[in-house]
Amino acid sequence: MESSTTAPPTDGPGGPPAGAPAPGGENRKARIARYVALFAMPFLMVTMMYASYVGTMHAPAPKDTPVAVVGSGQTARAVVSALDALPGGPVEARLVATTGEALGLIEDREIAGALEIPAGGEGEAVIHTASAAGASQASTVQQLLAPVAAENQWQITTREAAPLPDGDMSGTAVLFAGMGMMLAGYVPLSILTMSMPFLLTLRRFVPLLIGWAAVTSTIIWTILGPVVGAVDGHYPQFLGVGMLTIGAVGMTQLLFTKLVGPLAVLFGMLLWVCFGMPASNLALPIHTMPGFFQWLHGILPLPAAGESLRALLYFDGRGAGGYLLTLGVWLVAAFALSLLKERRSGHLIPAAPPVTDISTPLPALAGGPVRSKGTRYLAAIAFPLCILVAVVGTMSASMHKPQVHDMPVVVVAASAQQAEQVADGLEPKLGAMLDIRTGTSAEAAKDRIMEQDVVGAYVLPSAPGGPATLYTSSAAGSSQQTTLRAVFQQVAAGQQTPLELTDVKPLTDDDTMGSNSMYVAMSWIMAGFLIMSVLRGGAPELRRTRQFLPKLAGWAVGMSLWLWFLFDVLIGAVDGHALELIGLGAVTVFSVSLATGVLTRTLGLFAVIPAMAVLLLAGVPASGGGLSVYMVPDVFRTLQDVLPLPAAVDAVRTLVYFDGHGLGRDLLTIALWGAAGLVLHFVVDLWLAHREKKTGTPLPPGSGASDTGKAATGQRSPEKSAPAPGPALETAPAPTA
């Protein structure tokens, strides 16, 4: 006989009765609050990072850049006045009497460069720069000083006061070293907070931090030195700066953890990454950043670490003392405040499990099953170490020594025979650098540039004595345009032919670096993989695809709309194409979240590492968004046609600049990632259902492929009987340059 009892309403498929406590004692109201917090975490992380990056780097302009004019008399004073009177105030010039005085100021980094005027007011002017103080700063100085020399009809020679070594031609070794030290300092704290909070007392944490700082500093030096070849020797300097930096960041992160618990990851990300990168003077000159970041340059650890290493590696330690003192102040102040907090409120960490030793069973990573103490120790070491190696290794290996190779260029002449003859003449010297093609139509060559089939076109003179023309596009990549112009200026000079430079598709005033497409695409990718990492750690009860899809779809649309509003309306870096960009962003976020979800559902939060490595780290050099893909190792050109980040970067670029040429190919790449992820999600559903049937009971929330051993046979030890609640996310994403 059927029962007449009516089943109570439930809170979603398979959920507890509405309003009743969920498993673990959580009621509906508490669950809603938890989900709000879960979605707020990645929202804040993505917003903080890319608001700061796009806001400061989309159109940097020099302001009060300190330079010197070497000389005396009326001519020298006139040059100083002319530099100070430049529109917008890009230069702050001073007059010095001798070249030696100017070089000393450059080595002390008190000035960014110097213009040595010719004696008597005629002849050759020398521009002194120091690429070791920043490759982009040296380029900026040349751009500021060269026009003044040209106005006086002086020939210009550039001399390096402090050149970069051959192994670090891009000047990024100190950048990636500083990034690695930030990661080593703040990532481990979020794991220890939930898996082993008893280690966060000063008497236990300080010796661990000292050992960790020594080990990770050595690893960073090993990657950048013997492995990659960007640094030659200087291990003691790396060890000293690394231990001081990691100690300062780690101790400050401990203080944040004692104050706000797992939310400390947001404070750390804001200071070390979002504020630290624009203020660092490691990616772009600090004198092109807003005044607030110029002030932060003197007080934050990332600038202090990078400038200390720069001084020790390239300037014989000149100027390192002040930056090392900054790191020491952070370390001592954080230790003193942490000690005060411990003595006033005990060892309590907000929102952390109240345990005092290793015997209490806890998960190794948030949202996962309870683990043995050995597994927890291993995870606490391996997780941040893998992130550190992935970030420093991938980025430095791909960008430390850019070398032009196989850059496609068209040589255009009146006849095919003439074009072939010129191409054959260029091949012996430029064959390794350029993929030289030929043509007979300048208009057809310009169309190929617009379609991004070639990088440039060298059009031979149409009449004897006439100029040659080089067509390029800064919108397709400013680094490759600069390289190509330098190459063909030498070619034209060798042919004794005047050269006209034409930018067929220039960058806009809101995107002077050409980096907007990369940062917009990276924000979508990061939003996609973070949401699944957060849900895996903070909502382990979500185990079926049907539970994920509506949440991911809403997140994708909402984040894409917000990011467009942020970049376009609030910052003003992206103009127009609103509907197209919102739609493209939603598809990208949704596809990446589906692909990431396959990993997080099977590998747990350790999936953050391969997801970040594939979707972000490998995608940056493969995208051509910063450095041309023809200037990085060949493997990244292969990945350009496979990974979602390069597809998203190219899609944004082609929407904004190239009238949608190639957009279908990019959308197909992104959609294939989403489709593959969706299919594999249903496979994971079947696998989980099979495991539940095999064990005879539903798997505990948070179980995944990493739950091996006894769980697979239906036998579980008491220590692995249930998952413990965890924070939304145990680690911040790695920063990218």
CB proximity list for 484: less than 8 A, separation 6 or greater:
407, 409, 455, 456, 470, 472
Give the C-alpha separation, 176 to 312, whole Å.
16
User: pLDDT at residue 718 above 60?
Assistant: no
pLDDT tens per residue across span 337-370 = 999 999 988 777 888 888 888 888 888 887 778 8
* Mean pLDDT, rounded, for 242-256: 98
User: pLDDT at residue 46 above 50?
Assistant: yes
With beta carbons less than 8 A apart as the criterion, state whether 164 and 135 touch. yes
Give the C-alpha separation, 703 to 732, whole Å.
23
Q: What is the largest CA-CA distance in the chain?
A: 113
pLDDT tens per residue across span 425-475 = 999 989 899 999 999 999 999 999 999 999 999 999 988 889 999 999 999
User: pLDDT at residue 725 above 70?
Assistant: no
Q: How far is CA 643 from CA 249, 278, 529, in A?
A: 33, 27, 14
pLDDT at position 721: 35
pLDDT tens per residue across span 14-30 = 333 333 334 455 788 88
With beta carbons less than 8 A apart as the criterion, state whether 246 and 301 touch. no
Which tokens is 679 given?
A: 């299919």
Residue 545, number of CB atoms within 10 A of its CB:
19
pLDDT at position 697: 55
pLDDT tens per residue across span 115-170 = 999 987 788 999 999 999 998 999 999 999 999 998 988 999 999 999 999 889 88
pLDDT at position 572: 94
pLDDT at position 351: 85
pLDDT tens per residue across span 469-511 = 999 999 999 999 999 999 999 999 998 999 999 999 999 999 9
With beta carbons less than 8 A apart as the criterion, state whether 246 and 209 touch. yes
Give the C-alpha separation, 645 to 588, whole Å.
9
pLDDT tens per residue across span 655-667 = 999 988 889 999 9
User: pLDDT at residue 244 above 60?
Assistant: yes
pLDDT tens per residue across span 512-569 = 999 999 999 999 999 999 999 898 888 878 888 999 999 999 999 999 999 999 999 9
C-alpha 108, offset from chain centre? 29
pTM score: 0.89
Which tokens is 50 given?
A: 């890319």
Q: What is the mean pLDDT of the chain?
A: 88
* Mean pLDDT, rounded, for 83-111: 94
User: pLDDT at residue 219 above 90?
Assistant: yes
pLDDT tens per residue across span 158-174 = 999 999 998 898 889 99
pLDDT at position 12: 35
- H-state helical runs in 467-541: 478-494, 516-538
pLDDT tens per residue across span 366-413 = 777 888 999 999 999 999 999 999 999 999 999 988 999 999 999 999
Which tokens is 525 given?
A: 């990718």
